[in-house]
């Protein structure tokens, strides 16, 4: 007790222990309660003092009743494809990996009703009524980009085997809102038309280089000012290639949609007054399916009516 109140330098925990040991049970309770209230008041004051910094955050809530499209593009993928010796004009391993990564995103964020991809880009469409992440654009974009990028690395070996991943892939993203079904359809048609234009050019370009013996500069010069019909003619007359017979995944890109699939499993069940036995049970599950089809015509939309939501009328 003699050293209870001294000016000797003691550690805070030791000092508190000595103070408490010199008090009765009631005194200790009062002392602890006082300290607790003091800490609580201090914490609240500190929080309120610094909380003003939240006012610097911008409100990026997406407008209601609009489809939210998050589009990712590979960053510096021209160099990335050269470093990993992608096959030209199309590397099916790389395209398969892109689609697998996109499927991972859809399975994580089930409000995505369709995803469309080609080359090193993928667009993800959130349904118009989605409330994921309170419709905050930054949250949606960063979650999609991070899930896609990590999946690209995670599934690399599934498509490239023992070929090492030499550098980390990265994807930039943007968020665009489309208020009507027509706007959304036109966006997806635009991306598919871009796929066709780019793939036709690349198919002719690499045919001229790989089969025609031209340099890349000569091939580029040869194709300047040519129309789609000219490119088709070069392919057919010089290389006996009918562009319409090229792989649909190259010409049309990849559309990922949700489809219900019946799944039959065997379960062991015991019914009243019977012995346990195996029973085959069929159940319906939603799964992400990859399609390589035309989005510009009506057939796809008629076969997948759940993608578009009904327009609101006044």
Helices 181-210/216-223 angle, 10° precision: 130
Cβ-contact 251, 219 below 8 angstroms = no
Coil/strand/helix, residue 298: coil
DSSP letter for each residue of 151-198: HHHHTHHHHHTT----S---EEEEEEEE-SHHHHHHHHHHHHHHHHHH
Domains observed in the chain: 67-254 (3.30.70.3000)
DSSP, res 245: G
Residue 230 annotated as lining a ligand binding site = no
**pTM (2 d.p.):** 0.80
Measure the CA–CA gap between 292 and 300, rounded to whole angstroms: 11
Residue pLDDT, tens place only, 74-111: 999 999 999 999 999 999 999 999 999 999 999 999 99
Which pair of structure tokens corresponds to residue 184? 């959304």
* Model pLDDT, residue 313: 66
Cβ-contact 140, 133 below 8 angstroms = yes
Measure the CA–CA gap between 3 and 20, rounded to whole angstroms: 13
Which pair of structure tokens corresponds to residue 69? 């499209």
Measure the CA–CA gap between 196 and 253, rounded to whole angstroms: 8
Q: Which residues contact 122 (CB under 8 A, 6 or more apart)?
A: 71, 72, 98, 101, 102, 115, 116, 148
Per-chain mean pLDDT for the chain: 89
DSSP letter for each residue of 72-133: EEETTHHHHHHHTT--SS--HHHHHHHHHHHHHHHHH-TTEEEEEEETTEEEEEE-TT--GG
Residue 172 annotated as lining a ligand binding site = no
Cβ-contact 141, 173 below 8 angstroms = yes
Residue 120 annotated as lining a ligand binding site = yes
Contacts 24+ apart (CB under 8 A), 81-86: 81/120, 83/166, 83/167, 84/160, 84/163, 84/165, 84/166
Identify the residue whose tokens are 């009516």. Answer: 305
Bond before 79 cis per omega within 30 degrees: no
User: Average pLDDT of 124-133?
Assistant: 97
The distance of Cα 40 from the centroid of its chain, to the nearest Å, equals 42
Binned at pLDDT 50, 70 and 90, residue 19 comes out as low
Q: Which of 3-7, 87-91, 185-189, 248-252 has the lowest mean pLDDT?
A: 3-7
Q: Which of 153-157, 165-169, 274-278 has the lowest mean pLDDT?
A: 274-278
Residue pLDDT, tens place only, 165-200: 999 999 999 999 999 999 999 999 999 999 999 999
Residue 77 annotated as lining a ligand binding site = yes
Strand order in the sheet with 254-269: 171-178, 67-74, 121-126, 112-118, 254-269, 277-291
Cβ-contact 33, 151 below 8 angstroms = no
Residue 11 annotated as lining a ligand binding site = no
């Amino acid at each position: 007790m003699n050293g209870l109140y001294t000016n000797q330098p003691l550690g805070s925990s030791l000092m508190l222990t000595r103070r408490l040991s010199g008090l009765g049970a009631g005194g200790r309770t009062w002392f602890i309660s006082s300290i607790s209230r003091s800490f609580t008041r201090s914490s609240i004051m500190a929080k309120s003092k610094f909380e003003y910094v939240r006012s610097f955050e911008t409100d990026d809530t997406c407008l209601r009743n609009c489809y939210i499209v998050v589009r990712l593009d590979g960053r510096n993928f021209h160099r990335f494809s050269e470093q990993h010796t992608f096959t030209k004009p199309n590397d099916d391993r790389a395209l398969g990996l892109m689609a697998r990564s996109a499927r991972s995103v859809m399975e994580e964020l089930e409000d995505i009703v369709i995803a469309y991809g080609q080359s090193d880009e993928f667009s993800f469409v959130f349904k118009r009524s989605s409330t994921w992440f309170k419709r905050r654009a930054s949250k949606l974009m960063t979650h999609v980009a991070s899930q896609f990028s990590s999946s690209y690395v995670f599934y690399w070996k599934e498509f490239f085997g023992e070929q090492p991943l030499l550098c980390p892939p990265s994807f930039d993203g943007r968020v665009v809102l489309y208020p009507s079904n027509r706007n959304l359809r036109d966006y997806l048609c635009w991306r598919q038309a871009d796929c066709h234009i780019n793939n036709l050019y690349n198919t002719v370009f690499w045919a001229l280089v790989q089969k025609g013996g031209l340099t890349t500069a000569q091939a580029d010069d040869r194709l300047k000012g040519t129309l789609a019909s000219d490119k088709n003619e070069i392919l057919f007359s010089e290389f006996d290639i009918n562009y319409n017979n090229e792989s649909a995944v190259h010409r049309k890109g990849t559309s990922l949609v949700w489809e219900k699939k019946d799944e039959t499993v065997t379960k062991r069940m015991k019914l009243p007054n019977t012995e346990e036995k195996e029973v085959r049970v069929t159940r319906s599950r939603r799964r992400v399916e990859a399609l390589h089809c035309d989005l510009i015509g009506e057939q796809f939309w008629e076969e997948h009516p759940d993608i578009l939501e009904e327009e609101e009328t006044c």
